[in-house]
Amino acid sequence: MNPSSAQSLPEPEDEVNYWLKMPGETPKAFAAFCDYRDMGPRRSLSKLGRNLGKTKANFEPWSVLFRWVERCEAFDVDKAHEARTAAQEAQAAELREYRESAHAFASKLIKGQELMTAIAISRLAEVAPQKDKAPAEKITVNTACQFMRYAATIGAAAFDLKAEVVGVRQLERLAKGMGDASDEETDT
């Protein structure tokens, strides 16, 4: 075949995989192309020749006729796109998992805060009218006040965690390419 009659590759909008067998490409030529294609971005006809026990000159006519360089560039772009997509999906899954566990933990913190606050308020209400008497239960006024402080600290941590969950949701939306992440679903 004459290299000047090179096959016309379909346009990208045809959604044809350039790296697949081209019309008129023999099985032997396609097998050599596959070896060349699979060598990665640092591929060369010289390396292909060394790998297959031939010379660069054996592959040059096929390379020109079937546009190996252009097809390999399309292949490399596609593989890079697949790798980026896989990385984005993995990141989105990781963000989703983190958001869900952070949300669950924040909910537990809030329940703990509510319980500590209820105990402290109940205890303070019991002892308030009886300033001169010792509390009947083991929870002292001082302990009840400490409970309130701890509850406030836990509440602040839960609030921060909830805010972080919202931020993670925004990152998830950005990772999915959903545009401005601040316009919807910011509640937890």
Tens digits of residue pLDDT in 22-57? 889 999 999 999 999 999 989 999 999 999 999 999
DSSP letter string, 23-84: TT--HHHHHHHHHHHTT-TT--HHHHHHHHTS-HHHHHHHHHHTTHHHHHHHHHHHHHHHHH
Please calculate the CA angle 7-12-15 and round it to the nearest 5 degrees: 100
Q: φ, ψ for residue 130 (rounded to 5)?
A: -115, 60
Evaluate if residue 135 carries a pLDDT over 80: no
CB 141 within 8 A of CB 127: yes
Tokens at 110, concatenated = 């809030």
Q: What is the pLDDT of residue 164?
A: 75
Alpha-carbon dihedral angle through residues 172, 176, 182, 186, given to the nearest 10 degrees: -50
The DSSP 8-state label assigned to residue 12 in this structure reads G
For residue 126, the SS3 value is helix
* pLDDT tens digits along 51-90: 999 999 999 999 999 999 999 999 999 999 999 999 989 9
